[in-house]
Chain A
Amino acid sequence: MFWRKNKATEAPCGERYVNPYLAGTCLGLLLFITNLLTGHGLGASGGMSHLVAVATDAVAPRYVDHNGYFAGLARPALAALDHWLVWSLLGVALGAMISGVLAGRLRLCIHRGPRVTAPARLVFAFIGGTFMGYGSQWGRGCTSGQALSGGAVLSLGSWIFMFSIFGGGYALAYFVRRLWR
C-alpha cells in the first residue's frame, strides 16, 4: 500500500517549511492587499457551502425549494458557482499544488501520528471534517473567513470565535492524544 511505502519520506517534511513568522507576514500582507482591493478578506468554507448547495440543488431541487438555507446559497446556480469564494477556493488548490511541486511535497501519502493506523486516521479525518463543516456553518465561517479575516478587521465576534476554536481544541486534545503523539 502506498502509505507504507512512503513512510521514510515523511520524516524530513517538517524541516523544510518556511519560518512561521515569515509565512505569517506574507499571509498578513496578502490579507491586507485583498481587503484593500476587494473590501473583503479571504475565505474557504464559504466556497464549499456554495458547492454543497449547488450539488444538493442538482440532485434534489424539490428539497431545496423547501429549504431556505440551501435555496439562498444555491440559486441561481450559475451565480452561486461564479462567486469569488468558489474561484478563490480553486486558486487555493492550484497554489498549494504548485508550491507542493516546487518543494517536492506533491506525494501520495497519509499524514498520521506514530500510534494510529492509516484506516483509523482516515476515519478520524472524515469525522473531524464533519465537525468542521457543520461548525463552520454555525459560526458563519471557518478559520480563514471568520477567525483570520475577521480578526484582522478587529471584529468582536471573530475574536470570540477564534478563542472558541482554540478552547475547543485544547479541551479535547488530551483525550485524543493517541491520534497525534
Chain B
Amino acid sequence: MAPPDLSSLGHAGNILLSLAIGFAFGFILERAGFGDARKLAAQFYFYDQAVLKVMFTAIIVACLLLFTTVQLGWLDFERVWVNPTYIWPGIIGGVLLGIGFILGGYCPGTSVVATATLKVDGLFFLLGCFLGIFAFGPTVPLFHAFWERAGYLGRLTIPEWLGLSNGVVVLLAVLMALTMFAGAEWLESHCGKKQPSQPISGDSHPPLRERLSGKHFAAAALLLLASGLAIYTHLVPDPAEVRLRRQAEQEIASRQRHIEPPELLDLMHNNQITLLLFDVRDEADYNLFHLVDAKRISRDQVQKTKWAKGLPVDAIKVVLSNDEEAANTAAVELIARGVRNVYILAGGINHWLDVYGQGIGKPLHSTHADALRYEFPAALGANYPAADPDRWSTPQLPFTPKVHFEKPIIKISGGCGG
C-alpha cells in the first residue's frame, strides 16, 4: 500500500526523485505562464483568472484522485502529510503572502520559475524572499508562543472538522471550484481585453452542441467521478477501519491486549502515565462496584467516531467488563476507530475481585456469560477497598507486562516553512 518505503531507492535515487518532481513542477508552472508577474497579478484585476483556474483545477484533480485511492485502500492516509492547522498564524501568513503577491507579482515557487527564465524582476523577488525568511529568525522570539499555539488544532481535515465523509467534502470542493470557474469565465469576458471571439452575425445563439466545449465535458466528468466517490464512501466501509478491525480481532484473539490485574494495579499507581478506565457494564453492576476513576460508557458510545478520535492519543485506555466478552467487543470498536493504546482487563472485574476482593462480596455461581460473579451488600461503587487496593499492603504479584506504549506514526515532514 502506498506510500511505499523509498529507502530502497537509495540516497541518489531519492535525490533524483525529488529533482524529477521539482522539474515537472517548474515545467508546468512555466507552461502555464506563471513565470510572468503580469499574468499572475492579473488575477487580482479580474481580466485573467489563470491563477485561480490552475490552482483549483490542480487541487480538485489531486484531491479527487487521492481520496479515491484512500477509499479503495490503495493509499494509507495516516502516512500522508496533512499540514497541521494553526488558524491565526495561518491567517496572518496568508494576508502577508497576499500583500507580497500584489506588490511583487510572484510567490516563492513562481519567482524561481521567473528567475530560471532570466526575468530580472523574478530574481529581485527571490532575493526579497530570502531577506523575508531571514527576518523571521530574529523576530520569531517576539511572538513565538502565539506562532506555536494560536488556534492550533493539529492535523485536522475539513471532513473531520465538519463531521462529513471524505467523499462528500470532495464533491463539495468540486462543486465550489466549478462555480468559481464559471464566475472566472464571466469576469474574464466582462473585464478582460475585449477580443472578438466570434463574429456576431445573424444567429447569436448557436445550437447547444456548438456552445459546449472540452472543458464542459471535463467538468461533467469531474462531477460524475466526485459524486461516484461520495456515494461509494457511504456504501463501502472505510478500508482503514476494516484493516484496523481485523488487526484488533487478531490481537485480542491471541491475548496480546489482555493485561492481568497486577499490571493494571501497577498502571493505576503510575503517575507518569495518563490512564483511562472505561467500564462498559450495565449501570446496576457499575453502581454496585467499580474501580476508582473508572468511567462508565455505554456500548453505543464506543461506536461514536468523533468521540473516539477526541481521546488523548498518549493515554493508556483499559476496557473493563464483568468478564471479557463485552470488553473485547468494545476494544475492537475503539481500535477500529483509530484509538491507540487500548487494553482489556483479563478476566474482567470478576478476576480482579478474585485477586484483590478478599473479604468483600460473596462469590456466586455464574448464571450467564459476562455476569458479575460477586454479590455486594450495597451499591457503594468505588468505596470498596478492592476498588483502589493499596499497592503497598497488598502482596506484589508477578506479571508479564503487556502494555507497550504506542506513539502515533511519525509522519513524513512536508511542505514549506520547515
Which residues from chain A sit less than 8 Å from chain B, CB to CB? 3, 13-14, 17-18, 20-21, 23-32, 34-53, 56, 67, 69-70, 72-73, 82, 84-85, 87-100, 103, 105-113, 121-173, 176-177, 179-181
Contact = CB atoms under 8 A, between A and B. Distances in A.
Interface in B15-61: 15, 17-33, 35-39, 41-45, 48-50, 53-61
- Please classify the interface of chain A as helix (H, G, I), strand (E, B), loop, or mixed, using the class held by over half of its residues: helix
Contact of A130 (B19, B131, B412): B131
A98 B24 CA distance: 10
Nearest to B155: A155
Contact of B120 (A24, A69, A99, A110): A110
Contacts of B156: 155-157
Contacts of B29: 27, 92, 95-96
A149 B135 CA distance: 25
B27 A40 contact: no
B54 A172 contact: no
A173 B102 contact: yes
B382 interface: no
B102 A176 contact: yes
Contacts of A134: 96, 100, 132-133, 135-136
Interface centre among B92, B103, B412 (most CB of A within 10 A): B103
B2 interface: yes
Contacts of A89: 22, 112
Nearest to B138: A67
A145 B138 CA distance: 23
Contacts of B62: 27-29, 31-32, 35, 152
A4 to B, nearest CB: 13
B348 interface: no
A61 to B, nearest CB: 13
12 contacts: A31-B61, A31-B62, A45-B109, A46-B418, A90-B19, A99-B27, A135-B95, A135-B99, A138-B93, A157-B86, A165-B94, A172-B98
A35 B68 CA distance: 13
Interface of B: 2-4, 6, 14-15, 17-33, 35-39, 41-45, 48-50, 53-63, 65-67, 69, 75, 79-87, 89-122, 124-138, 140-141, 147, 153, 155-159, 161, 166, 169-170, 173, 181, 215, 218, 411-418
Contacts of B50: 17, 20
A179 to B, nearest CB: 7
Contacts of A113: 38, 41
Q: Which 8 pairs, one residue from A and one from B, show the smallest C-beta to C-beta distance? A: A128-B104, A168-B98, A91-B22, A129-B128, A139-B93, A133-B132, A164-B94, A24-B57
A172 B101 CA distance: 10
Contacts of B416: 43-47, 49, 85, 136, 140-142, 144-146
Contacts of A105: 30, 35, 117
Contacts of B2: 36-37
Contacts of B120: 3, 108-110, 122
A126 B128 contact: yes
Contacts of A26: 28, 31
Contacts of A126: 104, 124-125, 127-128, 131
